[in-house]
Amino acid sequence: MSTKAKTFQELIDGDQAVLVDFFATWCGPCKMMQPILEDTSKQMGDKVKIVKVDVDKNQLAASKFQVRGVPTLILFQKGKILWRESGVVPAHQLVNTLKSTIKE
């Protein structure tokens, strides 16, 4: 049984909510988001998939979604943007936002 890697577009068009972390390796606040995202992933389980996108390596995606600063978090579900925020988001605030925003 083979699992084909989904494209970014297929991923964000899916039924599962996808939180995309647009980041850069040189960005200090981006590094601060890493443990927050790990904690959020544990708390949210399979309700949300968290994907990291390096804006320096994926300039097209960053441009398409008008990412002007990093980190920028964008929550997608069924191809629609449900929420977006730039800057460091505290774990409790992020989890609360995801729980109240994601459509089951």
Instruction: For 69-91, give the DSSP string.
Output: SSSEEEEEETTEEEEEEES---H
pLDDT at 1: 39
Active site annotation includes 30: yes
- Catalytically annotated residue among 11, 14, 24, 27: 27
pLDDT score, position 23: 98
Instruction: Kindly give the parts of the chain with pLDDT less than 50.
Output: 1-3
Among 12, 18, 20, 30, which one carries the catalytic annotation?
Answer: 30
Question: What pLDDT, on a 0 to 100 scale, did the predictor assign at position 7?
Answer: 87
Confidence (pLDDT) at 3: 47
Annotated catalytic residue 27: yes
Q: What's the pLDDT score for residue 4? A: 52
Element (H, E) at 42: helix 28-44
Q: Which domains does the chain have, with CATH numbers?
A: 12-99 (3.40.30.10)
pLDDT of residue 6: 74
